Amino acid sequence: MTEKRHEVQHVTIHGHRRAYVKVGSGPALLLLHGLGCDHRTWEPVIDALANRYTVIAPDLLGHGQSAKPRADYSVGGYANGMRDLLTVLNIDKVTVVGHSFGGGVAMQFAYQFPERTERMMLVASGGLGPEVTPGIRAITTPGFHQVMGLLTLPGVRHVGVAGLKAASATGLKATRDLGEVADIYESFKDPHARAAIRHVVKAVVDWKGQIVTMADRAYLTDAMPMAVVWGRDDHVIPVRHASNAAALAPKARVEVIPNAGHFPHKDHPERFAKIVHDWIRTTQPATYSRAKWRTLLRNGQVGPVSPVGVTSISRARATTA
């Protein structure tokens, strides 16, 4: 599956420029990228998905070509921003797919706006357990902005980016995701981008790990089709978090992809697009019912949830690439 660049469009909402790609036709599919990335992380799968769906892939505020103001970078703020973007684009309902931090935004969007969410897919998502790579936790430290300013000086940055890309090209599992890390590192040369990312991370991570969790509201997914996709060799957020999702939302479809890291949609784009299509084809879009939502809220979570090991996911299918 070849990767090409798609036309980036812009719209100003609340005084801030929002960049996005919109291609295809059919039911709407909202693709939310992860921390430090932008819509380009989805480029390998956009065309395959656009054959059947209207694909909207935005640059979240503080990322890519979108504005990087001193603003609200909370997960709830991002969910509001996606609602407003979809409203401007005259799209009422979407299937939302979120990768990494974008998965947290997807969860929040589905929680805040269930009437506008038909399905939710989480890809190597945050919000399913506390563990996260030390590199992300480091962003919350007081000296991050200054240190990264030095590390992104032209000469230093060029060497660092080249080293990361070379390590990624070795094909080793441990270095698989370093090409994407190199792109994130390159983006940190912009001090506004660094400041925005630090605000984002501080809202969801502290020195102990992830703060935001879907555990207390996962029961609400009972009213909405949910899928979870993970790369078995993920070194950013452990693949065992997929089993947490299985325990929290027993009706969710779980796919663990062998020979894939933190970016399974880039490691195996054809397989990923097929998973998305099969899931959408075999599920009915959620229909919002205030009465059902009220009942779920009143009943709440039934019993405690204990995380289980990934090997115990009986319904997860380890797909092959």
- Active-site residue, from 33, 38, 47, 100: 100
Q: Which structure tokens are listed for 147? A: 């240190």
The residue annotated as part of the active site, out of 63, 99, 241, 262, is 262
Which residue shows structure tokens 């969801």? 204
Q: 312 an active-site residue?
A: no
Distance in angstroms (rounded) separating the CA atoms of residues 34 and 184:
10
Q: Mark whether 234 is an active-site residue.
A: yes
262 is catalytic: yes
Catalytic residue among 38, 47, 177, 234: 234
Residue numbers annotated as active site: 100, 234, 262
